[in-house]
C-alpha cells in the first residue's frame, strides 16, 4: 500500500477522464475565488453567478476550469469585510460549508464558525484586522477539481448576515494550466 501525493492524484484523475497530456502541462500553485455582496440571508452560494464581476471579485468566467486545467484543493479560505465600522461580521457565529464538484458533494456540513465549540475555542485559524475576518480551513484529504466540471461552494450561517459588506471564498492548492509548449 502506498500514499498518493496530491500531484499523483491529479495526474491519475485526469488520465481516467481521457486527458493523458496532463504531465505535459504547466504545474502551478492555484487559487480560485468568488465574492458575494452580503444580503440579509443565512445562505450563500459561490461560483454560481459569475457574470458582471470584476477580476477583484472572481477569477473565473464560468463555474468550471478550462478543458486543459485541473486543481487539487488543499485549503479553503473564507473572508468577510464589513461595510461600516461597528457592523457585525458573520464569521463570529456558527456556520457550515458544503463543496460540490459536479453532482457530488465532496465536503458535507463542515462546521467552521469561530464559536463552534461550547468553550469558545476556534477549530480553524482566524485573522481579524480592521473590520475584516478570515478563516483558513486546511484540507486533510486532497479534493480534485477535474477539467470542465462545475464547482459550487455553499455556506449556511446560523444567523442572518448583515446586509452590508462582502464575503469571499478562495479555494487554494495545486493545479495545472494549459501550456502549449510554444508561442501561439
Instruction: Read off the pLDDT of residues 74-87 as tens digits, 9 standing for 90 and up.
Output: 899 988 877 666 55
pLDDT recorded at residue 137 = 86
Ordered strands of the 151-157 beta sheet: 43-46, 151-157, 95-101, 104-111
Instruction: Read off the pLDDT of residues 86-143 as tens digits, 9 standing for 90 and up.
Output: 555 566 567 899 999 999 999 999 887 644 444 444 555 666 666 677 888 888 888 8
SS3 32: strand
pLDDT recorded at residue 120 = 46
Q: How far apart are CA 178 and CA 184, in angstroms?
A: 12
User: How far from chain centre, in Å, is Cα 20?
Assistant: 26
The pLDDT of 154-166, averaged and rounded, is 83
Sign (positive/negative) of CA torsion 35, 36, 38, 43? negative
- Whether 58 and 99 have beta carbons less than 8 Å apart is answered as no
Task: Give the bridge partners for 151, in sequence order.
Answer: 101
pLDDT higher for 133 or 151?
Answer: 151
- Residue ranges of E strands in 18-165: 26-37, 43-46, 70-81, 95-101, 104-111, 126-129, 132-145, 151-157
pLDDT recorded at residue 116 = 44
pLDDT recorded at residue 162 = 73
Going by C-alpha positions, the residue among 182, 179, 28, 155 that lies closest to residue 80 is: 155
pTM of the model: 0.78
- Whether 28 and 178 have beta carbons less than 8 Å apart is answered as no
Instruction: Read off the pLDDT of residues 23-61 as tens digits, 9 standing for 90 and up.
Output: 555 567 889 999 998 888 889 999 999 989 999 999 999
SS3 83: coil
pLDDT recorded at residue 118 = 47
Domains and CATH numbers, the chain: 6-177 (2.60.120)
With 90 as the cut, is the pLDDT of residue 183 above it?
no
If you search the block for the grid coordinates 452560494, which residue do you land on?
A: 45
Amino acid at each position: 500500500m502506498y500514499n498518493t501525493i496530491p500531484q499523483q492524484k491529479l495526474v491519475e484523475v485526469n488520465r481516467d477522464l481521457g486527458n493523458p497530456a496532463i504531465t505535459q502541462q504547466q504545474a502551478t500553485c492555484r487559487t480560485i475565488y468568488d465574492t458575494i455582496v452580503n444580503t440579509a440571508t443565512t445562505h450563500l452560494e459561490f461560483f454560481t453567478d459569475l457574470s458582471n464581476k470584476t477580476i477583484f471579485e472572481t477569477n473565473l468566467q464560468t463555474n468550471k476550469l478550462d478543458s486543459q486545467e485541473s486543481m487539487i484543493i488543499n485549503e479553503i479560505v473564507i473572508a468577510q469585510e464589513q461595510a461600516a465600522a461597528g457592523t457585525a461580521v458573520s464569521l463570529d457565529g456558527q456556520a457550515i460549508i458544503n463543496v460540490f464538484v459536479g453532482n457530488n458533494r465532496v465536503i458535507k456540513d463542515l462546521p467552521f464558525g469561530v464559536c463552534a465549540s461550547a468553550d469558545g475555542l476556534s477549530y480553524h485559524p482566524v485573522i481579524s484586522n480592521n473590520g475584516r475576518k478570515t478563516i483558513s480551513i486546511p484540507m486533510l484529504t486532497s479534493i480534485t477539481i477535474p477539467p470542465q466540471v462545475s464547482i459550487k461552494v455553499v455556506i449556511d450561517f446560523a444567523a442572518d448576515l448583515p446586509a452590508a459588506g462582502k464575503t469571499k471564498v478562495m479555494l487554494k492548492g495545486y493545479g495545472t494550466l494549459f501550456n502549449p509548449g510554444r508561442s501561439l
